[in-house]
Amino acid sequence: MSSIDTLVNTTIRSDVRAIHGYHVADASGYIKLDAMENPYHLPHHLREELAQRLVEVTLNRYPVASYATIKQSVCAKLGVPAGYDVMLGNGSDELISILCMGCALQDRRAVVLAPTPSFVMYQRSAQFAGMDYVGVPLKADLTLDMPAMLAAIEEHKPSLVFLSYPNNPTGNLFAEEDIVAIIKALDGFGLAVVDEAYEPFAQQTFMHRLPEFENLVVMRTVSKLGLAGIRLGYMSAAPQLLAEFDKVRPPYNINVLTQAAAEFALDHVEVLNQQATALRAARADLAAALAAMPGVSVFPSAANFILIRVPNSDDAYAKLLSRKVLIKNVSKMHSVLTNCLRITVSTPEENSAFLDAFAASLAS
What gap in Å lies between CA 246 and CA 81, rounded to an integer? 19
Using omega within 30 degrees of 0 as the cis cutoff, is the peptide bond preceding 250 cis? no
Q: How confident is the model at residue 20 (pLDDT cuts 50, 70, 90)?
A: confident
| Residues 258-269: tens digit of each pLDDT | 999 999 999 999
Q: Which residue has the higher pLDDT, 315 or 66?
A: 315
Tell me the domain boundaries of the chain: 22-42+270-363, 59-267
Q: Which CATH class is domain 59-267?
A: alpha beta
Q: Is the distance from CB of 172 to CB of 143 less than 8 angstroms?
A: yes
Pairing of strands 191-195, 216-221: parallel
Q: How confident is the model at residue 151 (pLDDT cuts 50, 70, 90)?
A: very high
Residue 1 has pLDDT above 80, yes or no: no
| Residues 93-109: tens digit of each pLDDT | 999 999 999 999 988 88
Q: Report pLDDT for 24.
A: 77
Q: Tell me the backbone φ, ψ of residue 164, rounded to 5 degrees.
A: -75, 125
Residue 27 has pLDDT above 80, yes or no: no
| Residues 274-331: tens digit of each pLDDT | 999 999 999 999 999 999 999 999 999 999 999 999 999 999 999 999 999 999 999 9
Range 229-233, long-range pairs (CB < 8 A, 24+ positions):
230/257, 230/258, 230/261, 230/262, 231/90, 231/91, 231/258, 232/88, 232/89, 232/90, 232/91, 232/258, 232/262, 233/88, 233/89, 233/90, 233/91, 233/92, 233/93, 233/94, 233/95
Q: Which CATH class is domain 22-42+270-363?
A: alpha beta
55 burial level (CB within 10 Å; 0-12, 13-18, 19+): exposed
Q: How confident is the model at residue 53 (pLDDT cuts 50, 70, 90)?
A: very high
Residue type at 316? A
Q: Give the residue-averaged pLDDT of 173-184.
A: 98
Residue 255 has pLDDT above 80, yes or no: yes
